[in-house]
Amino acid sequence: MSDVPRERAKCRAFADGERSAGRSQGERQVSERRTPMWTRLAAVALPLVLALLLVEVLVRVSGLSSTNHRMVYGGLVVKGRPGSSYVNRSENRNVVRLNNRGFHDRDWSACGEDYGILFLGDSMTEGIQVPVDSLFTSRLEDRLREAGMDVDVMNAAVSATGTGHQYLLWKVYIPESNARIDRIVLCLFPQNDLKNNHVDLGKGPESYGVYLAPDGTPWVHRDEPAAQTVARSITNHSALANLVYTRLHYLKTGRGPTDENVRAAGRAAEGERTAGKADGERASMERSPELAEVAADSLWADSMRRTLRLIGRWNDEANASGVGFSVAIIPSTDENNFYEDELVRRLVDADASGTLDVLALGLGGRSPLETNSFDGVTLGHLNYTGHRLAAGEFFDWLAPALRSGGRERGEGT
């Protein structure tokens, strides 16, 4: 009989243990429903974040992409981000490093004592296909200094821009750069400029663009969707995001990161069709330039007039502020349409009449394949030979005036 109480005690202890185990299991189940969710999310998110960081590093190290190197200064002009860098893969692989002002150039000194020449233009002048020391602006500075002249030559060109954008860059950003500017050299590439200056030619209105009004006044078109603003903010910090964003942009627009001049040639052909320039009409106009007035209402003639008006105003404004103003015409790589040739002719005539200082580069009479090709087949931007020849012509053009103005060492500033 004495074993019965012990058995009952064992049963009670066993039941109590079962109840305790049940409570513990229930508590564990409740706990699993509350906290492990974050643990599980972290377990999934952490490897994903680490993988993205690894890909980000690989994209940057390999040069496959970089963070977005462009910015809109003052809400008006596109320029590079100071100190940024990226790899150019078009035509000739080159690591592009932007200077302390955000341009493909050597660093600028603030309030320098030396005579300053500022070059403005588009991709032909920016020259991202070659290292900075190979640019015609850098070569020109080296030659001027070797000749005993203390001159700073600054390159403030920005790819895919027109004359209106370059004018605003001079008005909006250059004064705030604190660089000494004594002369401006506006580099025109007619095959791009007339298209980029008119809202109804070439690319048409984009989220950002600078175009010319009928009187030559630049106006800014900027209509950036909120999603694009967010995307731009992200791509400013992530090379991977910038790579994905640009590829999606190419898919959407149907064009890839090919040579700008190939695209420009296509836009020129489309522009000629839009303006109704049949081959016979063009040939007739070229034989008789006075017949150009018959087509004065065309988009091409309109853009030419607007461009010439802006250049005239720019020349007057620069001279009034004590800054010299010159225009350099970079040779086209393909056949111009009538109005592109007419723009060049009128600028050269202005130089002959003494109303404008103009240099039409000849690049030694070399063929574009010698001066604008890195593979000997594809025409594009100036190659090493092109930059060397351009530097020589600029030196021969500018050096006499600089000498006569007492720019040689020992003659003051």
Residues 40 and 87 in one domain: no
Residues 50 and 142 in one domain: no
What pLDDT shows up at residue 110?
Answer: 82
Q: What is the mean pLDDT of residues 298-303?
A: 90
- CATH for 327: 3.40.50.1110
Residues 9 and 112 in one domain: no
Residues 74 and 5 in one domain: no
What pLDDT shows up at residue 60?
Answer: 61
Domain total of the chain: 3
Residue 412 lies in a domain: no
More confident residue, 267 or 22: 22
Distance between CA atoms of residues 234 and 240, nearest Å: 10
Provide DSSP, 226-250: HHHHHHHHHHTT-HHHHHHHHHHHH
What pLDDT shows up at residue 278?
Answer: 39
Judged by average pLDDT, the poorest of 65-74, 153-162, 293-302, 330-339 is 293-302
Residues 14 and 116 in one domain: no
Average pLDDT score over the chain = 80
For 113-157, the pLDDT digits (tens) are 899 999 999 999 999 999 999 999 999 999 999 999 999 999 999
Distance between CA atoms of residues 399 and 157, nearest Å: 22
Residues 229 and 168 in one domain: yes
Residue 241 lies in a domain: yes
For 17-54, the pLDDT digits (tens) are 555 555 555 555 545 555 677 777 777 777 777 776 77
Contact between 182 and 224 under an 8 Å Cβ cutoff? The reply is: no
What pLDDT shows up at residue 276?
Answer: 41
What pLDDT shows up at residue 48?
Answer: 75
H-only helix segments in 321-383: 338-353, 368-371
For 309-332, the pLDDT digits (tens) are 999 999 999 999 999 999 999 999
Residues 44 and 116 in one domain: no
Among residues 16, 44, 61, the one where a domain terminates is 61
What pLDDT shows up at residue 191?
Answer: 87
Residue 249 has pLDDT above 60, yes or no: no
Range of the domain at 203: 65-404
Residues 51 and 73 in one domain: no
What pLDDT shows up at residue 201?
Answer: 84
Residue 272 has pLDDT above 50, yes or no: no
For 176-226, the pLDDT digits (tens) are 999 999 999 999 999 899 999 998 886 554 567 899 999 999 999 876 666
What pLDDT shows up at residue 280?
Answer: 42
Residue 227 lies in a domain: yes
Single pTM value for the model: 0.74
Distance between CA atoms of residues 399 and 407, nearest Å: 9
Proportion of the chain above pLDDT 70, given as a percent: 66
Residue 411 lies in a domain: no
More confident residue, 253 or 117: 117
Residues 1 and 74 in one domain: no
Q: What is the mean pLDDT of residues 351-360?
A: 97
Contact between 382 and 369 under an 8 Å Cβ cutoff? The reply is: no
Residue 409 lies in a domain: no
Residues 48 and 91 in one domain: no
Under 8 Å CB-to-CB from 235, ≥6 apart: which residues?
Answer: 67, 68, 241, 242, 245
Residue 346 lies in a domain: yes
Contact between 80 and 71 under an 8 Å Cβ cutoff? The reply is: yes
Judged by average pLDDT, the poorest of 23-27, 69-73, 348-352, 353-357 is 23-27
Residue 265 has pLDDT above 70, yes or no: no
Residues 189 and 44 in one domain: no
Residues 151 and 246 in one domain: yes
